[in-house]
A and B are shown apart, each in its own frame.
Chain A
């Protein structure tokens, strides 16, 4: 692919110390123009099976992960909250994605997030650290952010933000799987897939909160995101994004997946009784051609 070759060339130039800030243009990834977006939804109590089902419905993990790929599974590990409190992605969802990637022949699967609370507490309390370690495969690691690995990236298509520091492992991987949890969010209305990308941003993320919808769309134009899997096994309906009160948690036993990040967010929005256009980031991303937000134009495969 042309954009990928240019990406690698620019990366080589940057790494040679040439202080060239690479400009990535990977918006072509989401869905080939003209083809219909597919959103797979599964409901049930066995969460690992739900994840496997939705991936299978989208054509199987082989469509996203090739043999020898460096894969990043990017869950939400942002908060010092336990599994029941629905602030972080469910560990079973994360682990199932990691295992699928390993089975597809991935060379390496990395799991990380730049937490808002103390990282050690978040990784432990969310259950994700232990769950990934328990897989017992040396290729799969749940690791803390390494502060040496930030790199400035120019966002060529950015309207509200044109440059930011991103985590190099996320930018350079072959397959980035976005694995957010669906939650209420006072500022964004809901935090779904597009917002989850904030976890690979360095610096003062509070600044993203001004013109947030457009900025979230902008930052998502530069990541090699092939797949969005939204954890709606239990959702946070109020006092998000960190919650804390179990009264705000609603168990839905649902998992959503799509190669189209806009369609995934649009569908997840309906679980909260809202319309897709209620979320500013969904609208902004749609307007930039990053995907389809009209669910009537999307093929929804429910099981």
Chain B
């Protein structure tokens, strides 16, 4: 079974790769608010169909997570077909193939020089998979560091996309401001790009450099060996390889026939071991060997032969080492300062509205970046070390960068593992992310008797969680009326728009704390005093 009626299997594979790459970027681009409330969870389909994500997050959180159950489809298909995902669907694999074509002139030399083409390296991905799975038994979700989609999506969201957008702005902006000839053409082109190809806002994200580095490193590994990441490191590839070793569809012949040996030397996945035996756990069904076989011997089918293909890679020593490593990681986590117990119910950082309790949140969160991509203000930023390395890349709200838009509940709709539980808008508007606190040492009306009530102006809660008290102060020898803001903690939902718009340079004079319980017995001058509007109260400072 070598040819379809009009097209070779290899051509079919190439078309499939392209189609799924386009799908990936199209889903990426539509993971954005459209000015209205709803977005489909399927913008994160790659994560919902990712069995590594499903396995790790469900074990880690000890719960059944509905949306990621679609990954069962991939598991069944792999058991039947082998590791076809890596060759036909994976967008990272496709990008790596494209990159390999670009670096082909230098790749020959770098690969020979680096000497990292050994078949034994295949074992590393199994070690990583085992470490990740054992970690999940201890409630550690490590997908953010090793899952190919988390790395790809985050790398694009945090680094590549903003860079591309800002670069485009700069190039077209230069033409616009200098009124170069051709703006009659470039302006409409820019308009088109803005509407269809560029992201809506211009974001700056924490860990952009690190995420770019991680993703870039995967590409640079092509200099060491073709599909180095896929062969040797990708834990999802390890999972698919392990599942696919009993595949119904198999390659024949099982051993290099000895005529030209091109199948073995040209195989992008290095799916032939040292003895020339075919290794199903490495093969991604790219069909190159089928198309290039000069004798037409190679093919994929359901025929069974007596000869057995090469076995699975890891070996006992690697397995034991990986298990040990997997157990050590959680132990190491307990040593770090960030493992200090928090007050019950308190968080170290602000989380998106709908985020589950911290332990469950961190065990479900894949660090995929979907919520960060969809957040219209870019207030959801990846944590770096604020919650320790185990919390790295999980989303936190940074109001000074972006506040939580009052009428928006997009993040809770896109999270593929419901680490941010889906909320209706009515519920979301009442969820308390934190409570704003006014720093009277910095706030202009309190500290220097200057007029400013931007925080009150911005507060979206209709009865206003920031209210004003009017006092008489002396300015330049004159008595003037001054309005001073105070927080009505019962009404505050911690959205952070006050902190975001505070006009002070540097740190805002009103900041959202991670407290979610309003203070009791608030004294004069704070929330609850005066009449319902908080006006006309002359208490001043305590």
Q: Which of B319-345 contact A (CB under 8 A)?
A: none
Are A187 and B177 in touch, CB under 8 angstroms?
Answer: no
Can you list, as one digit per residue, whether each of A180-209 has a CB less than 8 Å from chain B (1) or not (0)?
000001110000000000000000111101
Are B457 and A123 in touch, CB under 8 angstroms?
Answer: no
Is A23 engaged at the interface, CB distance under 8 Å to the other chain? no
Rounded to whole angstroms, the CA-CA distance of A187 and B456 in the bound complex is: 9
Are A241 and B457 in touch, CB under 8 angstroms?
Answer: yes
Known: A206-B454, A209-B451, A242-B457. A121 touches B179 (CB 8 A): no
A242: chain B residues within 8 A (beta carbon): 457-458, 460
- The interface centre, meaning the residue of B178, B202, B463, B464 with most chain A CB atoms within 10 A of its CB, is B464
Of A123, A147, A209, A241, the contact of B452 (CB 8 Å cutoff) = A209
Are B35 and A124 in touch, CB under 8 angstroms?
Answer: yes
A244: chain B residues within 8 A (beta carbon): 460-462
Q: How many residues of A contact B (CB 8 A)?
A: 34
Are B176 and A210 in touch, CB under 8 angstroms?
Answer: no
Are B377 and A118 in touch, CB under 8 angstroms?
Answer: yes
- Nearest Cβ on chain B to A116's Cβ, whole angstroms: 7
Instruction: Closest A residue to B406 by CB, please name it.
Output: A80
Are B407 and A121 in touch, CB under 8 angstroms?
Answer: yes
Is A177 engaged at the interface, CB distance under 8 Å to the other chain? no
Are A17 and B178 in touch, CB under 8 angstroms?
Answer: yes
Instruction: Closest A residue to B202 by CB, please name it.
Output: A147
Are B462 and A125 in touch, CB under 8 angstroms?
Answer: no
Can you list, as one digit per residue, whether each of B395-411 has a CB less than 8 Å from chain A (1) or not (0)?
00000000001111000
Of A121, A125, A146, A209, the contact of B503 (CB 8 Å cutoff) = A209
Q: Which of B364-406 contact A (CB under 8 A)?
A: 376-377, 405-406
- Nearest Cβ on chain B to A180's Cβ, whole angstroms: 16
Are A118 and B33 in touch, CB under 8 angstroms?
Answer: yes
Rounded to whole angstroms, the CA-CA distance of A239 and B458 in the bound complex is: 10
Are A243 and B451 in touch, CB under 8 angstroms?
Answer: no
Is B483 engaged at the interface, CB distance under 8 Å to the other chain? yes
B406: chain A residues within 8 A (beta carbon): 80, 117
- Nearest Cβ on chain A to B333's Cβ, whole angstroms: 37
Are B179 and A186 in touch, CB under 8 angstroms?
Answer: no
Are B451 and A210 in touch, CB under 8 angstroms?
Answer: yes
Are A206 and B503 in touch, CB under 8 angstroms?
Answer: yes
Is B468 engaged at the interface, CB distance under 8 Å to the other chain? yes
Of B177, B408, B463, the contact of A148 (CB 8 Å cutoff) = B177
Can you list, as one digit per residue, whether each of B200-224 has a CB less than 8 Å from chain A (1) or not (0)?
1010000000000000000000000
Are A187 and B405 in touch, CB under 8 angstroms?
Answer: no
Of A121, A147, A149, A187, the contact of B457 (CB 8 Å cutoff) = A187
B464: chain A residues within 8 A (beta carbon): 239
Rounded to whole angstroms, the CA-CA distance of A210 and B483 in the bound complex is: 12
A129: chain B residues within 8 A (beta carbon): 35
Are B483 and A80 in touch, CB under 8 angstroms?
Answer: no
Can you list, as one digit per residue, whether each of A105-124 has a CB less than 8 Å from chain B (1) or not (0)?
00000000000111011011
Can you list, as one digit per residue, whether each of B455-483 has a CB less than 8 Å from chain A (1) or not (0)?
01110111110001000000000000001
Rounded to whole angstroms, the CA-CA distance of A60 and B103 in the bound complex is: 67
Are A187 and B453 in touch, CB under 8 angstroms?
Answer: yes
Is A303 engaged at the interface, CB distance under 8 Å to the other chain? no
Is B439 engaged at the interface, CB distance under 8 Å to the other chain? no
Is B36 engaged at the interface, CB distance under 8 Å to the other chain? yes
Are A121 and B35 in touch, CB under 8 angstroms?
Answer: yes
Are B33 and A186 in touch, CB under 8 angstroms?
Answer: no
Rounded to whole angstroms, the CA-CA distance of A264 and B452 in the bound complex is: 26
Are A209 and B462 in touch, CB under 8 angstroms?
Answer: no
Known: A116-B458, A120-B376. A204 touches B176 (CB 8 A): no
- The interface centre, meaning the residue of B35, B407, B452 with most chain A CB atoms within 10 A of its CB, is B35
Is B34 engaged at the interface, CB distance under 8 Å to the other chain? yes
Q: Which of A206-237 contact B (CB under 8 A)?
A: 206-207, 209-212
Are A15 and B177 in touch, CB under 8 angstroms?
Answer: yes
Known: A118-B377, A121-B35. A207 touches B503 (CB 8 A): yes
A162: chain B residues within 8 A (beta carbon): none
Are A204 and B457 in touch, CB under 8 angstroms?
Answer: no
Rounded to whole angstroms, the CA-CA distance of A15 and B181 in the bound complex is: 13
Is B86 engaged at the interface, CB distance under 8 Å to the other chain? no
Rounded to whole angstroms, the CA-CA distance of A237 and B235 in the bound complex is: 60
Known: A204-B503, A245-B462. A186 touches B456 (CB 8 A): yes
Q: Which of B137-182 contact A (CB under 8 A)?
A: 169, 172-173, 176-179
B377: chain A residues within 8 A (beta carbon): 118
Rounded to whole angstroms, the CA-CA distance of A212 and B464 in the bound complex is: 22
Of B200, B376, B407, B462, the contact of A239 (CB 8 Å cutoff) = B462
Are B178 and A80 in touch, CB under 8 angstroms?
Answer: no
Is B501 engaged at the interface, CB distance under 8 Å to the other chain? yes
Can you list, as one digit per residue, whether each of A35-74 has a CB less than 8 Å from chain B (1) or not (0)?
0000000000000000000000000000000000000000
A148: chain B residues within 8 A (beta carbon): 169, 172-173, 176-177
Instruction: Closest B residue to A247 by CB, please name it.
Output: B462
Are A149 and B176 in touch, CB under 8 angstroms?
Answer: yes
B36: chain A residues within 8 A (beta carbon): 121, 124
Are B376 and A186 in touch, CB under 8 angstroms?
Answer: no
Rounded to whole angstroms, the CA-CA distance of A53 and B49 in the bound complex is: 61
- Nearest Cβ on chain B to A60's Cβ, whole angstroms: 33
Are A187 and B35 in touch, CB under 8 angstroms?
Answer: no
A149: chain B residues within 8 A (beta carbon): 176
- Nearest Cβ on chain B to A279's Cβ, whole angstroms: 14
Rounded to whole angstroms, the CA-CA distance of A147 and B488 in the bound complex is: 36
Is B92 engaged at the interface, CB distance under 8 Å to the other chain? no
B176: chain A residues within 8 A (beta carbon): 148-149
Are A123 and B451 in touch, CB under 8 angstroms?
Answer: no
Q: Which of A123-179 contact B (CB under 8 A)?
A: 123-125, 129, 146-149
Are A210 and B450 in touch, CB under 8 angstroms?
Answer: yes
Is B128 engaged at the interface, CB distance under 8 Å to the other chain? no
Known: A15-B178, A118-B33. A243 touches B405 (CB 8 A): no
Of A16, A118, A207, the contact of B405 (CB 8 Å cutoff) = A118
B483: chain A residues within 8 A (beta carbon): 186-187
Q: A15-B177, A125-B407, A147-B169 are in contact. List 17 more A-B contacts (CB 8 A).
A: A15-B179, A117-B406, A118-B405, A121-B33, A121-B405, A121-B408, A124-B35, A125-B35, A146-B194, A148-B169, A148-B177, A186-B453, A186-B456, A209-B451, A209-B452, A210-B444, A244-B460
List of 8 A-B pairs having minimum Cβ-Cβ separation, nearest first:
A206-B503, A124-B35, A148-B173, A244-B462, A120-B35, A245-B462, A118-B376, A206-B454
Q: Could you pull out 5 A-B pairs where Cβ atoms are within 8 angstroms?
A: A80-B405, A148-B176, A206-B454, A207-B503, A212-B451
B binding-site residues for A, Cβ under 8 Å: 33-36, 169, 172-173, 176-179, 194, 200, 202, 376-377, 405-408, 444, 450-454, 456-458, 460-464, 468, 483, 501-503
